[in-house]
Amino acid sequence: MVLRNEKMRFSSKTIKGLISFVLFVTIVGALAGCTDPYAPKIVSPVATTTEVIGHSVQGRPIECHRFGSGPETILFLASIHGSEPAGTPLMWKLIDQIQKDRRLLNGRTILVIPVANPDGYAARIRENVNEVDLNRNFPADNRINITEYGTRPLSEPESKALYDLIQQSRPARVVSIHQPLKCIDYDGPGQAIAENMGRVMPLPVTKLGARPGSMGAYVGETLGIPIITVELLATDHRLTADELWARYGRGLVAAIVYPEVLY
């Protein structure tokens, strides 16, 4: 008899517990807006979309983060060479900054690609997994058809995705982050923008010259769009994202607000 009572007490406890659990889940669901598809959505202060502009040879997505909708488009990208990864956390910090400081979007659309060569970035190799240097695979006037640059222009899905984005978005300027040559390089009509960045960035402005079939050669020399190649230090991948931003962030902002500097 005692045993039976205990059993009954246990089962009524279990039922109460179940009811409380169901109530809890319902309340949390309602608070999260799951139960009401017409509930107003909380809109981020900066309109942002993340687009997958293509896939790598191994199927990794190439993500492009889009901010704003102004007529002047500025494209940033990092890690087209996977063995030069320091630019990627810098791009994450740039995304944070664009979301914090709406002045950056005055009249502008900003596109940010943190990892242009996802397979190379994952394996920390310069090329993609076909052993092609993506930054020699563009249809620039100075391109050379050799195996390590791709046997034809845009033979690689990663460079084709970047090419398509440039064709569609027609950026006013492009900034690509590399290592380890310690300078702000430019191609095409990019000197004044590079110098504006150099006012607030601890790197000298140095003209390296357009490499055959590089994005710099294609965008700068063939299309005539200013392109800045920021070459960070060899050791910069050891820095945290915050340290990278403290060192180079103002220069990236200066590329956005050219010919001004904000901070």
CB-nearer residue toward Zn ion: 81 or 250: 81
Distance CA 57, CA 262 (A): 40
CB-nearer residue toward Zn ion: 178 or 237: 178
CB-nearer residue toward Zn ion: 84 or 236: 84
Among 65, 93, 178, 211, the residue binding Zn ion under the rule CB under 5 A is 178
Distance CA 77, CA 183 (A): 17
Which of 140, 144, 137, 124 minimizes the C-alpha distance to 81?
A: 124
CA distances 48 to 45, 110, 185, 238, 241, Å, are 9, 10, 29, 29, 21
Segment lying near Zn ion (by CB under 5 A), choices 171-179, 182-190, 200-208, 210-218: 171-179
Among 67, 78, 79, 81, the residue binding Zn ion under the rule CB under 5 A is 81
> Where do runs of H (alpha helix) occur along the chain?
2-31, 87-100, 118-123, 157-169, 191-198, 215, 241-257
Q: Tell me if residue 177 falls in helix, strand or coil.
A: strand
Segment lying near Zn ion (by CB under 5 A), choices 65-73, 77-85, 136-144, 252-260: 77-85
CB-nearer residue toward Zn ion: 136 or 178: 178
CB of 81 to Zn ion, least distance (A): 4
CB-nearer residue toward Zn ion: 103 or 124: 124
Segment lying near Zn ion (by CB under 5 A), choices 25-33, 37-45, 74-82, 215-223: 74-82
Segment lying near Zn ion (by CB under 5 A), choices 11-19, 83-91, 182-190, 235-243: 83-91
Which of 136, 227, 132, 238 minimizes the C-alpha distance to 179?
A: 238
- The site for Zn ion (CB under 5 A) is made up of 81, 84, 178
